[in-house]
Chain A
């Protein structure tokens, strides 16, 4: 079973609409969770991370995510998207004795004008 699951491969959304990108994790990974963003033809950069403490995590560019232990989820949200948010988003979790990171397959967010 996949240890980090992103349920949607593509999400189209109109500009200024809210968006949620879904991520679930399995017990084979830790609960140190991340969202990374990849803009076209670039490397990945960190959006936000959950290590402990408050389950609602705020990141850059107005994104936030909520850690839900009972549902083993870490969904990413933004209340109003902009054209510049068009990118691929990766959910990830620390694994392998805290030395490695396991990535989901990515969700492409397409913001429609």
Chain B
């Protein structure tokens, strides 16, 4: 099993450009999450999904959109990138039950917006 994978690993955008980050998991997990990690601020939840076709806002959703059209994929979109969105983005997943709420993380995507 590959676990949780993220594409791309690195990206540089110019202000105003758009992009989509892809998260894929092969563990048949129900829940999926997008976080951003910034120095001194820990991980902050952007959006999450409790199942295929459902999404919900997290702590810092502004400027981002998400979609969960397939159970194994969770896409994070930036419609018009801003320098404040320079960050490391992590995707995570977990099953509905049985693992004691443990989240499984991807390796991260480092995004720089100039």
Q: Which residues of A contact B (CB under 8 A)?
A: 9, 32, 34, 41-46, 49, 51, 90, 94, 98-101, 103-106
Question: When the two chains form the complex, which single residue of B48, B50, B108 contacts A42, counting CB atoms closer than 8 Å?
Answer: B108
- Given the known inter-chain contacts A103-B42, A106-B42, please indicate yes or no for A51 contacting B106, CB distance below 8 A: no
Query: What is the interface of chain B, defined by CB distance below 8 A to chain A?
Result: 4, 31, 33, 35, 40-45, 48, 50, 56, 58, 90, 92, 100-103, 105-108
Complex alpha-carbon distance, A104 and B37, angstroms: 11
Instruction: Give bound CA distance, A4 to B45, whole Å.
Output: 14
Q: Which of A42, A43, A49, A98 contacts B102 (CB 8 A)?
A: A49
Residue of A nearest to B97 (CB): A98
Asked if residues A43 and B90 are in contact (CB atoms below 8 Å), the reply is yes
Does A51 lie within 8 Å of B41, measured CB to CB? Answer: no
Cβ contacts under 8 Å, B33 to chain A: 100-101
Taking chain B's interface residues, is the majority helix, strand, or loop, or is none over half, making it mixed?
Answer: strand
- Flag if A43 contacts B101 (CB, 8 Å): no
Once the chains bind, are B101 and A94 in contact (CB under 8 Å)?
Answer: yes
Chain B residues within an 8 Å CB radius of A98: 101
CA distance A103 to B92 in the complex (A): 13
Q: What residues of chain A lie closer than 8 Å to B92, measured between beta carbons?
A: 43-44
Cβ contact within 8 Å between A43 and B106? yes
A93 to B33, CA, bound (A): 15
